[in-house]
Amino acid sequence: MKNKETLCVQAGYTPDNGEERVPSIVLSTTYAYNSPEELAGIFDLTTPGYMYNRISNPTCTCLEEKITALEGGVGALSLASGMSAVNVAMLALCNAGDNFLAPSALYGGTYNLFAVTYKRQGIECRFYDLDATESDIEKLVDEKTKVIFVETIANPAGVVADFEKLSKIAKKHKIVFMVDNTIASPYLCRPIEFGANVVVHSSSKYLDGHAIALGGLIIDAGNFEYLGNKRYPDFNKPDNSYHGLVFGKDFGRQGYITRARMVVNRDIGAVMSPMTAFLTFNGMTTLHLRMEKHSQNTLALAKAMEKHPLVKWIKYAGLESDKDYKKAQKYLYKGYVAGMLSFGIKGGREAAVKFQKALKLIRIAVHIADARSCTLHPASTTHRQLSDEALIAAGVAPEMIRLSVGIEAEQDIINDVLQALEASQK
Ligand SMILES: *Cc1c(COP(=O)(O)O)cnc(C)c1O
């Protein structure tokens, strides 16, 4: 069972004779034991088993095993949201006084976590330019640098990561390379093959695929040597809450994900609900089919818009004219770039508002990456408090419109956009 299409459909759960075909939703928060010794073994991490849903749950395990197989890792942890996945993944590596590297082209929530919340907690994000040279990025590294972070396809900037450049720096300095693979999904990209040590997801997007379940995932690639690496004392010294176990030593290649689960999220408690795990697990069964259609539809739409006189600029790395086209071809399966596209409309903020009102099939929604096409105009919604000058400084042009292209018929989506473009000028 190697091909990723088969893994989407089959991985994560194999029923025994007469068992339910689809994983059941285990809503029991706790588990019963015959003796305290049996439960003690689970607490000591010497025997596997379930004790309480803040640590693990059988339905969540199925989802974790499915994403582990798809990403090609050694273990995964499911969480309450994409934001909690990013947070727990980072806190498993960073303490007050530490720093990490991230580009400013990030998902808005992640940007805020990194630039504001972590700053308050004494963890410093050193922002690097995605186009910067290897040696310029390297200058930001010191002995307290714990992570190099990037999004495979930045949301909403649409920039494709240069895995080769970043993983080279990470390897040279023995720093964890962490990739947010939300927008590409493991069907279009498996960052571990390009040097990632930790992969995170907002499963609320393509993995769920139907806009029904908020969730997050962390995947451990199992390819980073924590033992003996002075950057990561938490993986090299005995943990008092587990009788002196050493996470870099006692859990083989699963030290990172075990510590994320058994230490960090044990204390934070941002767990995924079993219901969400069930919905996400089943959504992922069709991930491969949906990603193909999202990508094909979006490329067709981008081509129809590219030379349109009312389109000032367009950002989609699937277009040959795009500056990220080569990276998309190199790192993304079949050069597919998923369903997120942004463009600038002629006529600025006013035309953008008229365009949004004129759309019939495509609805306005604060979401991306589900089966239904949707749109957002940041300047009049999520970023409406900012002046035009402040918007430009934040990298959000007043005329910028974000489209999340769904899996409806290609021509229906194109027709809706073309008629709304015309209507935007009236
Ligand atoms: C949506 C998103 C997140 C945050 O996920 P939530 O599930 O909304 O918490 C993180 N990273 C990226 C790239 C996203 O698109």
CATH fold of the domain at 287-423: Aspartate Aminotransferase, domain 1 (3.90.1150)
Instruction: Indicate if the pLDDT at residue 391 is higher than 80.
Output: no
- Mean pLDDT for the chain overall: 96
**Percent of the chain, pLDDT > 70?**
99
CA 368 to ligand 1: nearest atom: 15
d(CA 148, CA 174): 10
Order of strands, sheet of 145-151, starting from the edge strand that comes earlier in the sequence: 75-79, 216-220, 198-202, 176-180, 145-151, 99-103, 124-128
d(CA 189, CA 200): 13
Q: Is 208 in the pocket of ligand 1 (CB under 6 A)?
A: no
| Mean pLDDT within 119-147 | 97
Sequence spans of domains, the chain: 4-283, 287-423
Beta carbons within 10 angstroms of residue 333's beta carbon: 17
- Six token digits for residue 369: 């990456």
Q: Is 348 in the pocket of ligand 1 (CB under 6 A)?
A: no
Q: Grade residue 397 by pLDDT with cuts at 50, 70 and 90.
A: confident
Ligand 1 centroid–CA 36 distance in Å is 41
Q: Is 204 in the pocket of ligand 1 (CB under 6 A)?
A: yes
Ligand 1 centroid–CA 202 distance in Å is 5
CA 216 to ligand 1: nearest atom: 7
Question: Which helix (H) or strand (E) element contains residue 105?
Answer: none
Q: Is 156 in the pocket of ligand 1 (CB under 6 A)?
A: no
CA 86 to ligand 1: nearest atom: 10
Q: Which of 205, 218, 368 has the most ligand 1 atoms within 8 A of CB, as the residue to mutate?
A: 205
Query: Which pLDDT does position 1 carry in this prediction?
Result: 58
Query: Which pLDDT does position 51 carry in this prediction?
Result: 93
C-beta pairs of 303-310 under 8 Å, 24+ apart in sequence: 304/414, 304/417, 304/418, 305/343, 305/417, 305/421, 308/418, 308/421, 309/346, 310/345, 310/346, 310/347, 310/351, 310/421, 310/422, 310/424, 310/425
Tens of pLDDT, residues 47-68: 889 999 999 999 999 999 999 9
CA 214 to ligand 1: nearest atom: 7
Query: Which pLDDT does position 47 carry in this prediction?
Result: 85
CATH number of 4-283: 3.40.640.10
d(CA 394, CA 388): 10
Residue 286: what are its φ and ψ, rounded to 5°?
-110, 15
Tens of pLDDT, residues 62-85: 999 999 999 999 999 999 999 999
